[in-house]
Chains A and B, each alone.
Chain A
Amino acid sequence: MSGTFVGMPAFPEAAREAVGNATLRGNLRHATHTIRAKRARAVAELSDWAELREAGRRIKDHTLRHLDRYLEQLEESVTAAGGTVHWAADAEEANRIVTDLVRATGESEVVKVKSMATQEIGLNEALEAAGIRAYETDLAELIVQLGKDRPSHILVPAIHRNRGEIRDIFTEEMGTWGRPAPEGLTDTPAELAEAARLHLREKFLRAKVGISGANFMVAETGTLVVVESEGNGRMCLTLPETLISVVGIEKVVPSWRDLEVFLQTLPRSSTAERMNPYTSMWTGTTDGDGPSTFHLVLLDNGRTDTLADTVGRQALRCIRCSACLNVCPVYERAGGHAYGSVYPGPIGAILSPQLRGTASEIDASLPYASSLCGACYEVCPVAIDIPEVLVHLRERVAEGGPAVRQGNRVLLKPAKGHAAERAAVRAARWALAHPAALRTGQRLASRTRRLHPRTLPGPGRAWTGTRDLPPVPAEPFRDWWQRTHGGKDTSK
């Protein structure tokens, strides 16, 4: 990943700062708890959730294990349907391809639908350097862009802003980007949304180039799928003459039928809805309907390195539903920015250090940004064992070892200053290998939680010098689950 989050402090420092910000914490708590409760209800509606989750896991795993074959098939299908496929090994190359494609149209502005892949590669900045203005059109992304800010949540990127702040940003900044905010704008959500509608509509109606990501790409048919709520996606995918989609290579699924799994699990895991308001599917170009030129840029940028790690590759199953963020006690307190990447929360803690490597301090610290409580795994609709990968990555940071960087095998040295973590890893590994001991330990810790110090004594002091110990929950997650769900695991 490039272009983003340069100079971020490591997770512990960033988190400490965020934890001190009461507004941010209040917003986050409200948001995560609201979505969490709704999600549980939406999931409970499907009696076959465990089977859907298992099918999702298998489809994604199978695809990853034959990724070369499915990408070639996808390329063929997209080309046959009238699209053009480009391959980008890294962020720089992807940015260059997109910049050249936009230049070739003669346009100097583009409309964008929210896409994590383009954020990951810093596309907006690269376009700006080339004199091309990229307008983010998702309401939250607009808030983030106008506020010269970073998104903090996969799904609700401006979750860290409250309505008063949003009103101020609109009033001050909209005019410099296009249609100004209406006079006397108040901070009611409806008025704020209306201001965004007017501001962006002007851009949609004149846009000649749209840029998107995609949630899924179907190898068999060449179909791309974008799932959204507001309709800005439909605008960007339908009105421009040229459409450029930048998509990570892991987003491919083999067959049309596979969508029946993910269109059931994604919306419920994500926004806790039976179905999101809009889903667009397109296959190449269609005469007289929508863009007449379609480019697909397939992005590697660290994904093949991740694929080379037999434990870590499961992170590529992620469908970016953000359910793991909403249940994570660490994310709830620290907020998305503390993770220093476009992928926050538990998934960010395992994805970023794999995509980017663990050379920087922030990336080396991310595998520690978790209490290993396991809630992220329980909710994940594709059953990514995030705790397993976290422990694996901690070990890699602490002890070094073989890894693949930019397609080359390398031997990583143990990270400096991580001696204490090495001890922590050994402890964690032991505990995970002894589930009974882990459970007892958690229960014991719960019962004695009032006695717990904020810092660790002895050799642990170096570790807690920059970190607050996470408060031990009143009840271990597993016990709570047993009690409230009677041992019936509806999440699997």
Chain B
Amino acid sequence: MSSRERVLGRIRRALADVTPDGRPYEEAVGRGYLREHGHRTTEETVELLAENLADYRAIVHRADADDVRMLVMRLLARRGSQEMLVPPGLPPDWLAAADPVWIHDRAASTPQQLDRVGSVVTGCAVAIAETGTIVLDGSPDQGRRRISLIPDHHICVVRVPDQVVSSVPQALERLDPTRPLTWISGPSATSDIELDRVEGVHGPRTLEVILVSGAA
């Protein structure tokens, strides 16, 4: 007997007491919880996102579509990054003013090569106000999972209000499970040493989020 059959057989014997339940799954489970917590205007939702991001030690900036390029340039200059990693589909006008050399993530680049790059700029798939979370789904403006992981400085551009939802349930509705998803809430952190919070063990130690309004 294969282990598959053995395990499934054990399960079926273990559940001999269970009477079959013909109800559809959603009915059997029931979902009495809320779709979002509290009522907010669109503006308030964006404000809550900014607050919760900051509470988890992301650095939050606001910009109009026209100022994004200048802001990105300033952030990179302040950081002293000579090179910056960009996903293939990043809107070019977010970068036009940036001085540093752009490095495109290529399939052939090794993790070691990416490790030498200081900063990365990406878009996002959705941002969750109640939890202060940005979600990347590997779309062309976000790139592969590794590019937002290896550099120490991540700048993430969120289009507000289009990409902002209130809650986790609303975010899941928008996401496609077949894509690789990375949910980011604040920079990498650990509390393993006497519960003192330390930013950044492995992921980027600095996360800057630009909330850009009026972008297409």
Contact = CB atoms under 8 A, between A and B. Distances in A.
A89 B3 contact: yes
A214 to B, nearest CB: 14
- Interface centre among B128, B169, B198, by most chain A C-beta atoms within 10 angstroms, is B198
A68 interface: yes
Interface in B104-131: 107, 110-112, 115, 128, 130-131
B145 interface: yes
A163 B144 CA distance: 36
Interface stretch (A191-199, A365-373, A391-399, A414-422): A191-199
Contacts of B29: 55, 58-59, 62
Contacts of A404: 13-14
Given A52-B33, A307-B14, A232 B185 contact: no
Interface in B161-216: 168-169, 172, 177-196, 198, 200-204
- Interface centre among B6, B7, B52, by most chain A C-beta atoms within 10 angstroms, is B7
A290 B12 CA distance: 36
- Interface centre among B21, B183, B185, B191, by most chain A C-beta atoms within 10 angstroms, is B191
A65 B7 CA distance: 15
Interface residues of B, number: 71
A86 B180 CA distance: 22
Contact of B188 (A45, A140, A231): A231
Contacts of B189: 229-230, 277
Contact of B7 (A27, A89, A189, A200): A89
- Interface centre among B25, B37, B177, by most chain A C-beta atoms within 10 angstroms, is B177
A254 B146 contact: no
Contacts of A221: 177-178
A310 B172 CA distance: 33
Interface stretch (A258-266, A336-344, A471-479): A258-266
A68 B32 contact: no
A280 B13 contact: no
Given A55-B30, A71-B8, A256-B177, A310 B17 contact: yes
A41 B191 CA distance: 18
Contacts of A143: 192
Contacts of B102: none
A282 interface: yes
Contacts of B3: 86-89, 93
Contacts of B203: 230-231, 234, 277-278
Contacts of A305: 10, 14
A204 interface: yes
A2 interface: no
B7 A278 contact: no
Contacts of A18: none
Given A58-B28, A93-B3, A277-B185, A204 B56 contact: no
Contacts of B201: 139, 193, 196-197, 200, 230-232
Bin chain A's interface residue count: 35 or more
Contacts of B18: 65-66
A158 interface: yes
A67 B180 contact: no
Contacts of A275: 128, 131-133, 168, 183, 185
A43 interface: no
- Interface centre among A35, A55, A193, A279, by most chain B C-beta atoms within 10 angstroms, is A193
Contact of B31 (A55, A93, A189): A55
A66 to B, nearest CB: 8
A46 interface: yes
A276 interface: yes
A209 to B, nearest CB: 14
Contact of A192 (B11, B31, B193, B195): B193
Interface in B34-55: 34, 37, 52
A146 B183 CA distance: 30
A454 interface: no
A440 interface: no
B195 A34 contact: yes
Contacts of A278: 182-185, 188, 203
- Interface centre among A62, A273, A278, by most chain B C-beta atoms within 10 angstroms, is A278
Contact of A229 (B9, B179, B190): B190
B180 A290 contact: yes
A201 B202 contact: yes
A278 B107 CA distance: 24
Interface in A440-473: none
A84 interface: no
B78 interface: no
Nearest to B130: A274
Given A62-B28, A289-B145, A163 B194 contact: yes
B14 A308 contact: yes
B33 A271 contact: no
B30 A281 contact: no
A46 B201 CA distance: 30
B149 interface: yes
Interface in A50-75: 51-52, 54-55, 58-59, 62, 65-68, 71-72
Contact of A260 (B7, B12, B172): B172
A289 B180 contact: yes
A51 to B, nearest CB: 4
Contacts of B185: 273-278
5 A-B pairs closest in CB distance: A231-B203, A231-B202, A308-B14, A304-B10, A279-B183
19 contacts: A31-B194, A55-B32, A65-B21, A88-B3, A139-B201, A143-B192, A156-B195, A189-B194, A190-B198, A192-B193, A237-B145, A255-B25, A256-B177, A275-B183, A278-B183, A281-B181, A288-B107, A307-B14, A407-B6
Given A232-B201, A289-B180, 5 more contacts: A71-B11, A223-B177, A260-B169, A290-B144, A290-B145
